[in-house]
């Protein structure tokens, strides 16, 4: 199931596919897990130096004896999945249309070290809110792409796949699916891609929603003077957390190829690299929390089986080595932000600072409890898609 980059020009056709990892890859994974060489850990340390051995051993034991990849694969295959070629790169995506004819189209973008797995639990409530106790007028047609270089999209065929290029690909994908007006959502890299998409395709993007909001401290002395003590404390937390938690980005932004050898060869290495960040941001050790062991391992499997540790890391390199530095544009479309839980304490800037860079919409109580009904007025012609294809490992080679 290792993904090979495509060759040639765009194939504007949209092809269905089903996920089916070859058993030989799963057998190889089992052998590698059983033969893991475990490193020494300084006594008395925990997460401050990285993923602890004890935590990781427990997780690997579950990976070997409790986790069921075929069940996770079957869950992914319950949703319609498609493949197309944009700007020479394969783009694979889930496309789940709502049963509601007036549903609003929306594209949701993951980040690193994420994947479309992080959206699986919201597909039902968003596409069919009536079946989940919601209002059918809030229904959404969902497009959930794997970023080129990530997951089932596989490695990119050439350099230059940075945020602006991905955003242009998303605009082309939505047009290809027949959506002329749509919403966009994202966090982490999805935040940057969504912001860029709203800027370059403002004519078609109705509004955006973000679950990351990176905002630099104010450079204007007057604006800085207007910050309250609470504002300054929140900015300080952002800066302190960035210094301690950004080592991964420095490595991936400078030497992604060197890192790729270790993560592509060792499943435990790949797991540790991802689990550390999810622990920092979401605390997967809390099994009743936002990231269960099964979801974490399914996410890691999409990195391991496709061999995209290096290609996903290259997005950081592309950002750091652009000939012209990329600035996140200020979109003209309305912006909604969700800042909750542990990550809010380290990533959420003061509203007065964020509003300088983003046209934020203050949510009413009704909007906070349910998506705004204004989206029900959007109409878009349904795409013409081929029927589902039978399972085929050849489609993923």
197 touches 183 (CB < 8 A):
no
Rounded CA gap, 338 and 336, in Å?
A: 7
Average pLDDT (95-107) is 97
Please report which confidence band the pLDDT of residue 245 belongs to, taking 50, 70 and 90 as the band edges. Answer: confident
The closest of 103, 182, 97 to 135, measured between CA atoms, is 103
Domain-located, residue 332: yes
Domain membership of residue 10 (yes or no) is no
Q: Note the pLDDT of residue 235.
A: 78
Please state the φ and ψ torsions of residue 120, each to the nearest 5 degrees.
-60, -40
- 196 within domain boundaries: yes
Q: Compute and round to an integer the Cα radius of gyration of the chain.
A: 21
Residue 361 has pLDDT above 60, yes or no: no
Tokens representing residue 323 in the block: 């000939």
Residue 216 forms part of a structural domain: yes
Query: 50: alpha, beta or left, given left = phi > 0 and alpha = psi -120 to 50?
Result: left
187 lies in some domain: yes
Q: Two tokens at 203?
A: 């004519």
Mean pLDDT of 226-247: 79
Query: What is the percent of the chain with per-residue pLDDT over 90, rounded to a whole number?
Result: 65
Instruction: Note whether residue 3 is domain-resident.
Output: no
Between CA 19 and CA 271 the distance in angstroms is: 21
Within a domain: residue 282?
Answer: yes
Backbone angles phi, psi at 246, to 5 degrees: -110, 15
Q: How many domains does the chain have?
A: 1
Encode pLDDT of 256-314 as tens digits: 999 999 999 999 999 999 999 988 887 545 544 568 999 999 999 999 999 999 999 99
pLDDT at 322: 83
- The residues with which 106 forms a beta bridge, in sequence order, are 142, 183
Is 231 part of a structural domain of the chain?
A: yes
- Render pLDDT for 185-194 as a digit per residue (tens, 0 to 9): 999 999 999 9
Which has more confidence, 332 or 38? 38
pTM: 0.84
Judged against a pLDDT cut of 70, whether residue 368 lies above it is answered with: no
CATH code of the domain covering residue 175: 3.40.50.1820
Q: Is the pLDDT of residue 351 over 50?
A: yes
3-state helix, strand, coil in the chain (%, to 5): 50, 10, 40
For residues 274 and 299, the answer to whether their CB atoms sit within 8 Å is yes
Q: What is the mean pLDDT of the chain?
A: 84
User: Quick one: pLDDT at residue 246?
Assistant: 87
User: Smallest Cα–Cα separation from 328: which of 216, 241, 203, 226?
Assistant: 216
Angle of helix 163-176 relative to helix 309-320, nearest 10 degrees, comes to 120
Q: What average pLDDT does range 52-77 have in this prediction?
A: 97
Rounded distance, CA 181 to CA 203, Å?
8
Domain extent, residue 255, equals: 15-396
> What's the CA gap between 65 and 131, in Å, rounded?
35
Mean local confidence (pLDDT), 168-187 = 97
Does residue 239 have a pLDDT over 80? no
3-state secondary structure of 201: coil
pLDDT higher at 389 or 11:
11
Instruction: For residue 226, name the pLDDT band (cuts at 50, 70, 90).
Output: confident
């Amino acid at each position: 199931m290792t993904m090979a980059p495509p060759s040639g020009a765009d194939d504007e056709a949209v092809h269905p596919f089903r996920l089916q990892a070859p058993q030989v890859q799963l057998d190889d994974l089992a052998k590698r897990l059983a033969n893991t060489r475990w490193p020494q850990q300084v006594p008395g340390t925990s997460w401050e130096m990285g993923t602890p051995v004890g935590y990781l051993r427990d997780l690997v034991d579950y990976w070997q004896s409790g986790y069921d990849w075929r069940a996770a694969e079957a869950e992914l295959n319950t949703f319609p999945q498609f493949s197309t070629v944009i700007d020479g790169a394969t783009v694979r995506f889930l496309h789940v249309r709502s049963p509601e004819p007036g549903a609003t189209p929306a594209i949701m973008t993951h980040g690193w070290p994420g994947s479309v797995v992080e959206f699986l639990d919201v597909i039902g409530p968003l596409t069919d809110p009536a079946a989940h106790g919601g209002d059918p007028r809030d229904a959404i047609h969902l497009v959930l792409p794997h970023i080129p270089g990530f997951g089932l999209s596989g490695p990119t065929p050439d350099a230059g796949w940075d945020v602006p290029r991905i955003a242009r690909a998303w605009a082309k994908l939505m047009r290809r699916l027949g959506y002329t007006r749509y919403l966009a959502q994202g966090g982490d890299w999805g935040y940057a891609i969504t912001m860029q998409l709203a800027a370059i395709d403002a004519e078609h993007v109705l509004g955006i929603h973000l679950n990351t909001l990176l905002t630099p401290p104010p450079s204007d002395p007057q604006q800085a003077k207007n910050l309250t003590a609470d504002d300054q404390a929140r900015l300080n937390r952002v800066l302190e957390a960035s210094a301690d938690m950004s080592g991964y980005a420095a490595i991936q932004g400078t030497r992604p190829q060197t890192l790729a050898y270790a993560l592509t060869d060792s499943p435990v290495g790949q797991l540790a690299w991802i689990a550390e960040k999810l622990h920092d941001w979401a605390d997967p050790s809390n099994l009743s929390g936002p990231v269960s062991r099964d979801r974490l391992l399914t996410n890691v499997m999409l990195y391991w089986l496709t061999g995209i540790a290096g290609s996903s890391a290259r997005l950081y390199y592309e950002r750091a080595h652009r000939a012209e530095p990329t600035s996140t544009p200020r979109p003209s479309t309305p912006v909604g932000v969700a800042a909750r839980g542990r990550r809010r304490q380290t990533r959420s800037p003061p509203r007065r600072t964020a509003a300088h860079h983003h046209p934020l919409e203050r949510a009413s109580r009704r909007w906070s409890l349910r998506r705004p009904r204004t989206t029900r007025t959007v109409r878009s012609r349904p795409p013409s898609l081929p029927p589902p294809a039978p399972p085929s490992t050849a489609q993923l080679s």
